[in-house]
Amino acid sequence: MEPARFDELDKPWRKWASIIIGGGLAFSVLMGFLVIPVVQGYGAGIDPWTAICRAVGIAEGAPSMRQPTSDAQAKPTTNVAWSTDLLRALANTSGPGADIAQSCAACHGERGIASDPQNPSLAGQSAVAIYKQLNDYKSGSRVHEIMTGIAQALENDQMIAAAAHFATRTRWAVDPTTAQVRDPDVVRLVERGDPARGLPACNSCHGFSAGGPIETPTLSHQNKEYLARQLRAF
């Protein structure tokens, strides 16, 4: 067959496919962007332009309901708001802060392992976790007779620097006096949680590769007096 006759067979396909598909597209756009929002908005006393803007997504709310206002006040329990800038700063170990971190060692141990069990070991805690606690002490979200005073004397930049430094220095230290947990009930709570009480596995936040909240402290190799006290305080 010659090409001209090929084309005779092909042209109707091109034409009708485009018409049918284009028509379907046009119909859907007309309905979804125009007809349905305007009709819904009419029923709720919303003007057509607002209804269309809401349907398209450039204004808040639904095209079919009035957008309720609220003067509810948030009451956050912490003043820390994570941002990528803050996280970059906490990862920066080359800034100033070595000297402040040094003074932490007085109670928390040179390598983060506290000699007095009244004090928590900070070895293995991330800079993010340390910074969160310092900030909470400063803002009053967390209260401790000694730490509150210390934190309030620090500027935000100093807290960031101290956390970054201390975390790096004490990262791999392990308290040799802590032991492996063997009690099956405890292991069950750690690895499985308790569905009846709605308890997630402790590991789901405090585990090494859990993917939970980034400021979660690690609990392994913490001295047990401190752990017990904190659990009771919570």
In angstroms, give the least distance from the CB of 200 to another protein. Answer: 3
**Spatial distance between the Cα atoms of 19 and 85, rounded to a whole number of angstroms:** 52
Interaxial angle between packed helices 84-91 and 156-169, expressed in degrees from 0 to 180 and rounded to the nearest 10:
50
Contact with another protein (CB under 8 A): which of 145, 208, 232, 233? 208
Nearer to another protein, 111 or 171 (CB): 171
- Which residues in the 91-110 window bind another protein by CB under 8 A? 91
Stretch that binds another protein, among 93-101, 105-113, 131-139, 189-197 (CB under 8 A): 189-197
Spacing of C-alpha 6 from chain mean position: 61
Instruction: Work out whether 84 is an interface residue with another protein (CB under 8 A).
Output: yes
Contact with another protein (CB under 8 A): which of 41, 63, 109, 120? 63
In angstroms, give the least distance from the CB of 218 to another protein. Answer: 11
In angstroms, give the least distance from the CB of 22 to another protein. Answer: 8
* Amino acid type, 60: E
Spacing of C-alpha 153 from chain mean position: 28
| Contact yes or no for 174/167 (Cβ under 8 A) | no
DSSP, res 227: H
Stretch that binds another protein, among 86-94, 138-146, 149-157, 171-179 (CB under 8 A): 86-94
Give the Cα-Cα-Cα angle 70, 73, 76 (nearest 5 degrees): 140
Stretch that binds another protein, among 48-56, 93-101, 139-147, 154-162 (CB under 8 A): 48-56
**Spatial distance between the Cα atoms of 121 and 30, rounded to a whole number of angstroms:** 64
Stretch that binds another protein, among 12-20, 96-104, 133-141, 222-230 (CB under 8 A): 12-20
Task: Give, rounded to a whole angstrom, the gap between the first and last alpha carbons of the chain.
Answer: 86
Number of H helices and E strands in the chain, helices first, is 11, 0
What tokens were used for 145? 């007779």
Interaxial angle between packed helices 127-139 and 84-91, expressed in degrees from 0 to 180 and rounded to the nearest 10:
110
In angstroms, give the least distance from the CB of 222 to another protein. Answer: 18
Provide the binding-site residues for another protein, judged by CB under 8 A.
1, 6, 9-10, 12-14, 17-18, 21-22, 24-25, 27-29, 31-33, 36-37, 54-57, 61-63, 65, 68, 72-73, 82-84, 87-88, 91, 126, 191-196, 198-201, 203-205, 207-214
